[in-house]
Every structure is written in C-alpha cells, then in structure tokens.
Structure 1
Amino acid sequence: MSDHNEREEGLSFQPRFDASGLVTCVTTDVATGEVLMVAHMNDEALRRTVATGEAWYFSRSRNALWRKGETSGQTQRVVEMRTDCDQDAVWLRVEQRGAACHTGRRSCFYRKVENAGDGSARLAFVDAERLFDPAEVYRK
C-alpha cells in the first residue's frame, strides 16, 4: 500500500502535522455531542493523550504543552479519539468535568454569529453562563 493509501485506508496512525508541527483537535462531549473546544496538538500531546486517557494540548500562544484541567480542575477524560481521512485533524469525544472554556463557560462556542440586517455580522451570547470565575481560577 502506498503511504497515501495507507494513511487513508490503513490501520496505522500516521498523523500529518502542519509546518508548525501541529494537528487541529475538535473536542466534543461524549454524552451530548456538543462541540466544547477546538485546539491543537503536537506529537507529544497526542502521545500523552493516548497513553493517559486525559486530554493534552499544545498552546500556540504560550508555546507550551498543557493538560486540560491542570490549573482549573476542569478535566477531560477521553472516551474515544478519532482521526480524519488524511490524518491532519483529531476528534476527541470526552467526559467533560465542569467547563471546557478558559472563560469559565461549558463550551468555547458561547456566541452565535447573526446577520445584523445590513449585510454585516454581529455576535449574540447563547449558553454563556459561567461555571467558574476565571479571575479566581487563573490568578497569577
């Protein structure tokens, strides 16, 4: 089997990292299917996630590996990990403990995009209740 065919049809996990060494990760709640967050993983975050059953990510802004809930206690237990057809994205189905978003909300997707009526877009809050106060949790 060619590398291309093996990547798309085979059973070998061969993640395709981008030029920065990352793959995109979509994380959803296993019980509800709700999209909780979109983040990135490098090779080490992927390996740790597989090995521990806990979600690990790579922060582009901090240039650092992090385990979900390390600071906040809002952890993610991985129930299932999937990869897309060409293995350049990962989907985690997790049991979410508390909020997934660093803003204290259940999901990072707490605003919807609406038509403002003049052809432009505006945001509106939906499902935006805070489960914790980020100022308290992330004190430096």
Structure 2
Amino acid sequence: MSSDDALREQGGVFMPKFDGNGLMSAVAVDSASGRVLMVAFMDAEALAATRRTGKAHFHSRSRGRLWMKGETSGHVLTVDQILVDCDQDALVLRCTPAGPACHTGAATCFYRLLEDDRLERVDG
C-alpha cells in the first residue's frame, strides 16, 4: 500500500478519489428516515458546490454539466452530513428533502421492488 493510500484510508485528511472520468458515486439518504432517496455522480465542481452551499449538487452525465438537485422543481436536498467511504471514492449525503426526490414525483427514486423478472411498485 502506498503512503497516499494509507493516508487516504486511515488518515484524517479529505482526499477525494475520483474515477477516470472525474466522478464519484454519491448516495443521498433521508436524514430522518434513513431511506435511500437517489444515487448520482459528483465531480470536483459538484462536491465543492455542495460543500459551499449546503445543497446537493451533482454532475449530470446526460447534460454534461453541474446541476443542483431541485434547481427547476424546487425539491432541493439540504445536506446535513457527508459521509466518506474508506477509500474516499464514494459519498453518502444525509439530506433533508424539500419534496419528492425522484423526477417522477415519487418520494424516492427507489420505488420499485424486483420480484423475479417483474418490478412491483412499493410505497414508503
């Protein structure tokens, strides 16, 4: 293990590790319920904007740009805490949602359960 890897995994310095495309996974969860709200990607710009504003920002791969969750709908995610995984290449954002997290209007993007080869809608 290199000294950078050891520092990243055991140290107290934030050293985010982005993939070859400059991205890392970010899982947004509801601070109150613990329910997974959504999964998206962050680049350095999105991470910096999230830390600066306290609102969840992500990198849109389809649009190729920074976007703030809720920038058009008003359903922003206020970030209460950022948890960093062991090798600093994934984040969990504990958030307070201002409305549904999913663009479909569902409270969470994870509103379907896989049963055999079928998707069953679940509430809550």
1:122 to 110, 118, 124: 118
Greater RCO (Cα-Cα under 8 Å, separation 6 or more): 2
Runs of 4+ off more than 6 Å: none
Name the counterpart of 2:77.
Answer: 76
Distance 2:14 2:38 in 1: 23
Larger Rg: 1
The TM-score with structure 2 as length reference comes to: 0.96
Residues 11-53 of structure 1, C-alpha deviations (whole Å, 9 max, x = no match):
1111111111100000000000000000000000001111111
Distance 1:11 1:50 in 2: 17
Segments of 5+ residues of structure 2 without an aligned counterpart are none
Q: CA deviation at 1:102?
A: 0.8
Distance 2:14 2:54 in 1: 17
Q: Which amino acid aligns with 2:52?
A: A
The TM-score with structure 1 as length reference comes to: 0.85
- Does residue 8 of structure 1 match 2:31? no
Name the counterpart of 2:109.
Answer: 108
Aligned-pair identity (%): 52
The Cα RMSD (Å) is 1.2
Count of residues in Structure 1 that have an aligned counterpart in Structure 2: 123
Q: CA deviation at 1:64?
A: 1.0
